[in-house]
Amino acid sequence: MALSLTVVCAWGPRPAVAGTGGTAAHLRPALSSSAGPGTPGSQVWEKRYNGPGDADDSASALAVSPDGSTVFVTGRSIGSLGSYDYAIAAYEASTGTVRWIKRYDGPGGGSDVPYALAVSPDGTTVFVTGASTASNGYYNYGTVAYRVSTGARVWVARYNGSGNTDDTATAIGLNQDGTIVFVTGRSFGSSGSYDYATVAYRASTGDRLWVRRYDGAGSGFDIATALAVSRDGSTVFVTGGSTGASGVFHYATLAYASMTGDELWIKRYNGHGTGGDLANAIAVSPDGTGLFVTGYSSGPAGDPDYVTVAYEASSGAGLWVRRFSGSANAADAATALGVSQDGDVVYVTGYSTAAGGSSRYATVAYAVSTGARLWVKFYDGPGDGNDHPYAMAVSPDG
């Protein structure tokens, strides 16, 4: 039986949330849109995609065109040769009509797994990145650009790190004018472990502009998970987990000049416990002054908590740190965050262990200026099992 990629669209009174998530009963990307009739939150359309291999297909990322007319979904899809390919589908946002579906099978003929996508500010091009098997049998970063109007492939750019083995891109973004595409992830280095590797490409051609690698103080694994670009396009920020001198992960957040790749600053965060800390998400405030990073951090008892860190974007100076531990005092991990359009509130979501031992969505709101907690909300799905959100977005009116 095939596991198909599913897209669900629900109407709301105004733009709300786009993202992906899973519960014990369902795993599917979801979009809440601003136009159309019906009760807010009611389902308007649902589309499924079953790849040519008639086997497992799962979505990993979703984006909407700047004008709101098109929904893009990407994920891994079994092809006719029995391995995963990139699959990207474009749907009409109002009706779910399929505009086009494209697949990418890398030169190695093995698995190709996309993890992120982004749309150019002018809405003409959509970019997908992930891990794509090379001719040597190892993963490279594989970034593909498609024309939004037709799905025609514009360019493919691949990055093979200095270790000539596995490289996996996990995040993508563009500068304000859409001229540069930034990709980051984990890349095997010549020292025999993963480093952060951030690559800048010319958006129109795929020409590589610069590459910057980061190998942390512990000379162990360093894995970039998320990327954000400043509102003026001058700076790209990267975060993830980096091995410290003690041999465990810390948050490591870096700022690069977008045009040159020059490192502007680096900040590390080591939590209260002796375990690891891994940042999963990053966002810039609308006015460009604040930078927010969230993920999970080992607590004094050893179980991870949400930890959200606020930095001054220009200098990396720390503004505040806030921890969240759920009612069970067990594992809690933040996976995504967003900032209100007025810049007053930062929202963090993830999963939090409940008293019964299963996990549920837990979303926390903090005041940007002080880090004061404003509210916490939980969601437990109908399957009464584990519920893990993976993405969030904030409506334009906040």
- The pLDDT tens digits of the residues spanning 50-67 come to 999 999 999 999 999 999
For residues 243 and 189, give the distance between their C-alpha atoms in angstroms, rounded to a whole number.
14
Two structure tokens written together for 196 = 């952060």
- 198, 201, 207, 211: CA torsion to nearest 10: -20
- pTM comes to 0.91
Largest Cα–Cα separation, the chain = 57
| CA dihedral of 65, 70, 71, 74, whole degrees rounded to 10 | -80
The closest of 91, 130, 94, 128 to 7, measured between CA atoms, is: 91
What's the topology of domain 5-389?
Answer: Methylamine Dehydrogenase; Chain H (2.130.10)
**The pLDDT of residue 28:** 37
Kindly state the tokens that stand for 298.
Answer: 């080992």
Model pLDDT, residue 385: 87
Going 258 to 261 to 265 to 267, the CA torsion angle's sign is positive
334 in Cβ contact with 281 (< 8 Å): yes
> Could you list the pLDDT tens digit for every one of the 398 residues in the chain?
344 555 565 554 333 333 333 323 233 333 333 334 567 788 889 999 999 999 999 999 999 999 999 999 999 999 999 999 999 999 999 999 999 999 999 999 999 999 999 999 999 999 999 999 999 999 999 999 999 999 999 999 999 999 999 999 999 999 999 999 999 999 999 889 999 999 999 999 999 999 999 999 888 899 999 999 999 999 999 999 999 988 899 999 999 999 999 999 999 999 876 788 999 999 999 999 999 999 999 887 778 999 999 999 999 999 999 999 987 888 999 999 999 999 999 999 999 998 888 999 999 999 999 999 999 999 999 887 899 999 998 988 76
The Cα–Cα gap between 138 and 284 comes to 34
For the chain, the structural domain boundaries read 5-389
